[in-house]
Amino acid sequence: MAKELLLTLFYLLLFNFLFLRFRKLQFKSFKPAVTQVLFNLKFITGLFIWFIYTFYYKDVQNNDVHKFYSDAFVLRNVASQSPKDFIQIISGIGSNEPRFDKYYAEMKNWKRNFDEAPFNENQTIIKLNALLMFVSLRVYFVHILFMCFISLIGWVLLTNAVLKFAPIPNSIFAIPVMLLPSVLFWTSGVIKEPLLVLGLGVFMYGLLYFETGNTRKNLQAVALMLAGAFIIILIKFFVLACLIPAAIAYLILRQDQNSATIVLKYLVINVLLLVCAFNINHFIPRIDLQQMLVNKQTHSVKEAEYFNAGSRIEIPALDNNAGSILKTAPIGIWNTIARPYLWEGKNIMMLASAAENVLVILFIILCLWFSDFKNFKQLNLLLFLLNFSLAYFALIGICTPVLGNLVRYRAPLLPVLLFSFILLAKRDSVPIKLHALLAYQS
Domain ranges within the chain, ordered by starting residue: 2-61+139-438
Residue spans of the chain under pLDDT 70: 113-118, 168-170, 212-213, 427-442
Three-state SS at 425? strand
pLDDT per residue as tens digits for the range 139-189? 999 999 999 999 999 999 999 999 888 876 667 888 889 999 999 999 999
Three-state SS at 231? helix
Q: What is the pLDDT of residue 442?
A: 47
pLDDT per residue as tens digits for the range 56-83? 887 777 888 999 999 999 999 999 999 9
Instruction: Calculate the CA 259 to chain-centre distance.
Output: 30
Residue 337 contacts residue 392 (beta carbons within 8 Å): no
Residue type, 441: Q
Residue 124: count of CB within 10 angstroms of its CB: 18
* Residues with Cβ within 8 Å of residue 15, at least 6 apart in sequence: 39, 145, 148, 149
Residue type, 218: N
Q: What is the pLDDT of residue 117?
A: 65
d(CA 163, CA 428): 16
Residues in the chain: 442
d(CA 48, CA 348): 14
- Tell me the CB-side half-sphere exposure of residue 80, using CA atoms within 13 A: 8
